[in-house]
């Protein structure tokens, strides 16, 4: 069985391999790198051709290789400081103009690489002066005293070559930043959905499971005592299992169908079946949907805590409204000391998150006589 799983995993990895490689090749940096390589190659071909005609192919090729290596290093680096390595631009400028006296007009297209480097530098430090220098680094050689050393067409086209290179690099970097931002948004969305699923699973399914355990324990006691209520408890337990199945589907699909009125009736039935006298008082109706949902979760959490963390005999639930503030109060006796003081539990943390999103808050107090009061305050939106 383990070998079959290993083979299946290996097969899936092989299928994903070509897709992953194609996805990597289509990344912005790969596309930008190909565009940069094509531009440099387009400038290198006429330079090497002219050097070959002048008989200086070897010396010119070595100089060009050093110049291109420095140029690529500068424009593709992630500078520690805002500007980056100034010395590379200085060396590139030196390797651009000084070899003109040796290689002649064949070396003129190199001015396009210097223009691109100056534009990249200008973009990093937001300098207008460097932009002007980049646009002038080609035409400035037209002022040379010996016109045979200069190719006028390439001297005038150098700023255009620099602008094209700067555009390719800028677009590739912006595309990469947009891709990273999109990935970050997707990760946050996944994290929020995972948080919603965890919270709803605890608040809905956890409550039902707690009630189900209590029902089964009650049913076991009634069967042992041969009580006639056992049949009714079996029916309620089956209904609870159906509700649990519905809640699981609701959590899985992100559906919300909370009903505060139905939950109040369920709370009364549950508490009384656990032999807890229950008093419910409601003085507000027609609550907004988000307020009603938050109070429904609060009621579930409060009743669950009464059954799980107390030996209650009496419990009261009051739902009141005053000055556009809705308050749900659950008060019970028989409080047991907590196992770990200060441990609020995941349920209360989830509830606090829900209520705070509506501008509300929680309050919990206990007395020496074993009375515990749990209140939830939520403002009603006008």
At 2 the pLDDT is 46
- Percent of the chain surpassing pLDDT 70: 71
Per-residue pLDDT tens over the stretch 278-320: 999 998 878 888 888 889 888 888 888 888 777 888 999 999 9
Task: Determine phi and psi for 360, rounding to 5 degrees.
Answer: -105, -170
Bridge partners (DSSP) of residue 364 are 374
**Segment of 3-12, 35-44, 47-56, 326-335 carrying the highest mean pLDDT:** 326-335
Instruction: Give the residue among 57, 55, 71 at the shortest CA–CA distance from 110.
Output: 71
In the structure encoding, which two tokens stand for residue 374, read together? 């749990």
The pLDDT assigned to 7 comes to 53
Q: How far is CA 223 from the centre of its chain?
A: 53
pTM (predicted TM-score): 0.50
Q: Identify any residues that bridge with 331 across adjacent strands, giving them in sequence order.
A: 316, 373
Phi, psi of 254 (to 5 degrees): 70, 25
Q: Among 266, 221, 222, which residue's Cα sits nearest to residue 243?
A: 266
Closest CA to 257 of 247, 242, 248: 247
Query: What does the block give as tokens for 147?
Result: 């016109």
Q: How confident is the model at residue 330 (pLDDT cuts 50, 70, 90)?
A: very high
pLDDT at 20: 44
The confidence score (pLDDT) of residue 141 equals 86
Asked whether the beta carbons of 137 and 154 are under 8 A apart, the reply is no
CB atoms within 10 A of CB 354: 22
Q: Which long-range contacts (CB under 8 A, 24 or more apart) does 276-280 make?
A: 276/306, 276/307, 276/312, 276/313, 276/314, 276/315, 276/332, 277/313, 277/314, 277/315, 278/315, 278/316, 278/317, 279/314, 279/315, 279/316, 279/317, 280/316, 280/317, 280/318
| DSSP label of 108 | G
pLDDT of 233-265, one tens digit each? 666 666 666 666 666 666 556 555 567 888 888
pLDDT higher than threshold 70 for residue 201: no
Q: What is the pLDDT of residue 238?
A: 66
3-state helix, strand, coil in the chain (%, to 5): 70, 10, 20
Residue 117 burial (CB count, 10 A): 27
Cβ(113)–Cβ(97) below 8 Å = no
> Which residue has better confidence, 340 or 294?
294
Range from 184-198, 223-237, 312-326 that averages highest in pLDDT = 312-326
The pLDDT tens digits of the residues spanning 49-59 come to 888 888 888 88
Q: Provide the pLDDT for residue 327.
A: 92
Return the minimum-mean-pLDDT range out of 6-15, 205-214, 220-229.
6-15
Place of tokens 């001297």: 155
Tens digits of residue pLDDT in 112-144: 889 988 998 888 888 899 899 888 888 888 888
Asked if residue 83 lies in contact with residue 124, where contact means CB atoms within 8 angstroms, the answer is: yes
Percentage above 90 pLDDT, the chain:
8
CA pair distance 95, 65, nearest whole angstrom: 11
Q: The sheet that has 325-332: what strands, in order across it?
A: 277-282, 314-322, 325-332, 372-379, 361-366
Q: For 70-89, how does the pLDDT look when each residue is reduced to its tens digit (9 = 90+)?
A: 888 888 887 766 656 788 88
Q: Please report the beta strands in the chain, taking only residues with DSSP state E, as ranges in sequence order.
A: 277-282, 314-322, 325-332, 361-366, 372-379
């Amino acid at each position: 069985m383990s070998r079959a799983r290993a083979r299946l995993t290996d097969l899936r990895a092989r299928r994903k391999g070509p897709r992953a490689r194609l996805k990597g090749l289509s990344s912005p940096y790969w596309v930008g790198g190909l565009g940069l390589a094509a531009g440099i190659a387009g400038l290198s071909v006429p330079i090497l051709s002219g050097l070959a005609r002048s008989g200086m192919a070897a010396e010119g090729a070595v100089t060009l290789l050093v110049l291109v290596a420095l140029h690529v290093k500068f424009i593709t680096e992630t500078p520690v400081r805002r500007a980056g390595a100034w010395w590379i631009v200085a060396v590139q400028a030196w390797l651009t103009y000084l070899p003109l006296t040796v290689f002649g007009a064949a070396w003129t297209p190199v001015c396009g690489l210097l223009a691109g480097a100056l534009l990249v530098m200008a973009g990093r430090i937001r300098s207008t002066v460097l932009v002007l220098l980049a646009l002038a680094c080609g035409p400035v050689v037209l002022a040379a005293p010996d016109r045979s050393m200069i190719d006028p067409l390439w001297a005038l086209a150098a700023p255009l070559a620099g602008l094209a290179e700067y555009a390719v690099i800028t677009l590739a970097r912006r595309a990469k930043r947009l891709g990273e931002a999109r990935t970050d948004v997707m990760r946050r969305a996944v994290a929020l959905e995972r948080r919603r699923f965890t919270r709803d699973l605890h608040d809905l399914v956890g409550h039902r499971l707690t009630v189900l355990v209590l029902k089964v324990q009650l049913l076991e006691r009634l069967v042992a005592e041969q009580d006639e209520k056992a049949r009714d408890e079996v029916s309620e337990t089956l209904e609870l299992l159906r509700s649990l199945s519905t809640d699981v589907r609701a959590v899985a699909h992100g559906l919300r169908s909370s009903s505060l009125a139905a939950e109040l009736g369920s709370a009364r039935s549950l508490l009384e079946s656990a032999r807890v006298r229950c008093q419910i008082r409601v003085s507000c109706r027609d609550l907004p949907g988000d307020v009603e949902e938050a109070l429904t979760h609060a009621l579930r959490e409060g009743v669950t805590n009464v059954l799980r963390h107390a030996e209650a005999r009496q419990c009261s639930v009051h739902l009141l409204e005053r000055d556009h503030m809705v308050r749900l109060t659950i008060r019970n006796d028989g409080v047991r000391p907590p196992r770990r003081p200060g441990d609020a539990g995941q349920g209360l943390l989830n509830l606090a998150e829900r209520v705070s999103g509506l501008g509300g808050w929680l309050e919990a107090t206990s007395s020496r006589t074993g009375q515990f009061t749990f209140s939830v305050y939520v403002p009603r939106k006008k």
